[in-house]
Amino acid sequence: MSRNRKVASSNFVDYVRICCRSGKGGAGSTHLRREAMVAKGGPDGGDGGRGGHVILEGNSQMWTLLHLRYRKHVIAGHGKPGGKQRSTGADGEDVVVQVPLGTVAYDDETGEMDVEITEHGERKVWVPGGRGGWGNDHFKSATNQTPRYAQPGEPGQEKWKVLELKVLADVGLVGFPNAGKSTLLSVITAAKPEIANYAFTTLTPNLGMVAHREHRSFVMADIPGIIEGASEGKGLGLRFLRHIERNAALLFLVPADSNDIHEEYRILLRELEAYNPELLDKNRVLAISKSDMLDDELKDEIRLDLPDVPHLFISSVAQQGLQELKDLLWTHIDREK
C-alpha cells in the first residue's frame, strides 16, 4: 500500500473545520391582559426564549475527530417567542458536540483559541445563542401603563470554527523515522503499532499505557517521525508536532548506528524550538536505541560526545535498559505533576 493511500485510509483525524450556527433568541410578547370582568388589563407579555448554544463536551472514550470529518454544519435551534400571562418562550435546542480529551477549539477567522476540553464530561459553550427579547411587561411605567411593544430576540452567530486534537500523554517519543519508536512502544506497552523498515511507517500518533512499579502507570505517545525542516512543513512533522505540546516529558530516541548521535539530537531539538520554543522547557531524556550491537567500550566512547541531558542505552528487541528507562521517565513525570 502506498504512503498516500495509507494517509487517506487512516481513521485518525486530528483537525476539522466546521460551520457553527447558534440559534436566535425568541421575540418578547406584546400581549395585553384580557379577562372577564377586567375591562383594561395591563401588559402581561412574556420574554422570548434563549437561542440554542453550540456546546463542546469531553468524551474519554473518543480518540479522534473522525466522527466530525464529514459534518460540515452544526445548527442549534431558535428560541420560541414569549406568551401571555408573562410566560417565557422555550429555549432553542442546544447542540452538543462530543470531542476527545485534548481538543482545542479555535475561531477560523481570527485564529484565537475559544475553549479547551481536557476532562471527561466537561462542557463548555462554544457558540452562544442569542438572548430572548423582553416582553412588554418589562416596559410598563406610571406614564405608560399599556406599552404595545417588546424586544426582538438577539440574532444567533454563524461562524467557521476549527477543532484541533492534541494527544494527551505523559511521555512523547521524538525521533527521526526508523529510530525504533514504534518498536519501543510495542515492547513496553500493549499498543500494536505498525512496524516496518521504511520511513514514515507511523502515520498517526499511537498511544500506549506503560505499567510501572507499585501498580503505577503512565501514557506514552509515539509521534510520527520528524525530519529536518519539519517545523517548516516538510514531511509529516508539522502535522503532528502539536501532539507533543502537552507531554510532561519528551523521550528523544536516536539509534546507536546513527552517524552522529549528538547532531541528530541537536536537529530534533532545533525543529521543536522552531515550532514552539516552550517545548524546550519540558523534561528531556535521551535514549540510544538498538544498543545491543554495542559493547561497553563503544558505549564509553559514545558517552564522551553525548549532549548534557539524562541518557541511557536501550534495546527494545533484546529487552535491555527498559526498566531503567521507565524509572527515569517516571521521575520526570512525577516531578512535573
Look at residue 11 in the predicted model and tell me its pLDDT. Answer: 56
Identify the top-confidence range among 5-9, 242-246, 256-260.
256-260
Is the pLDDT score of 337 beyond 80? no
Is the pLDDT score of 237 beyond 60? no
pTM, two decimal places: 0.68
List Cα–Cα distances, 270 to 67, 195, 277, in angstroms: 35, 27, 9
Look at residue 90 in the predicted model and tell me its pLDDT. Answer: 96
Gap between the terminal Cα atoms of the chain:
42
* Torsion sign across C-alpha atoms 220, 188, 332, 295: negative
Using one digit for the tens of pLDDT, what is the confidence trace for 224-234?
756 555 445 44
Q: Name the residue with higher pLDDT: 246 or 144.
A: 144
Using one digit for the tens of pLDDT, what is the confidence trace for 177-220?
777 888 888 888 765 544 434 444 445 667 778 888 887 888 88
* Torsion sign across C-alpha atoms 301, 303, 306, 312: positive
Phi/psi-derived region of residue 37, left when phi > 0, alpha when psi is between -120 and 50, beta in every other case: left
Q: Per the structure block, which three cell numbers stand in for 29?
A: 410578547
State which amino acid sits at residue 185.
L
Look at residue 37 in the predicted model and tell me its pLDDT. Answer: 65
Percent of the chain with pLDDT over 90: 43
Q: In which order are the strands placed within the sheet that holds 217-222?
A: 206-211, 217-222, 171-174, 249-255, 283-289, 311-313
Look at residue 229 in the predicted model and tell me its pLDDT. Answer: 52
SS3 call for 271: helix
Q: What is the mean pLDDT of the chain?
A: 84
Average of pLDDT values for 260-267?
91
Q: Name the residue with higher pLDDT: 181 or 262.
A: 262
Q: Per the structure block, which three cell numbers stand in for 335?
A: 516531578
CB 66 within 8 A of CB 13: yes
pLDDT band at 69 (very low <50, low <70, confident <90, very high): confident
Closest of 122, 66, 326 to residue 217, by C-alpha? 326
**E-only strand ranges, the chain:** 15-21, 54-58, 73-75, 95-99, 103-107, 113-117, 123-127, 158-165, 171-174, 206-211, 217-222, 249-255, 283-289, 311-313
Domains of the chain: 11-165 (2.70.210.12), 171-336 (3.40.50.300)
List Cα–Cα distances, 185 to 204, 209, 316, 322, in angstroms: 14, 9, 9, 11
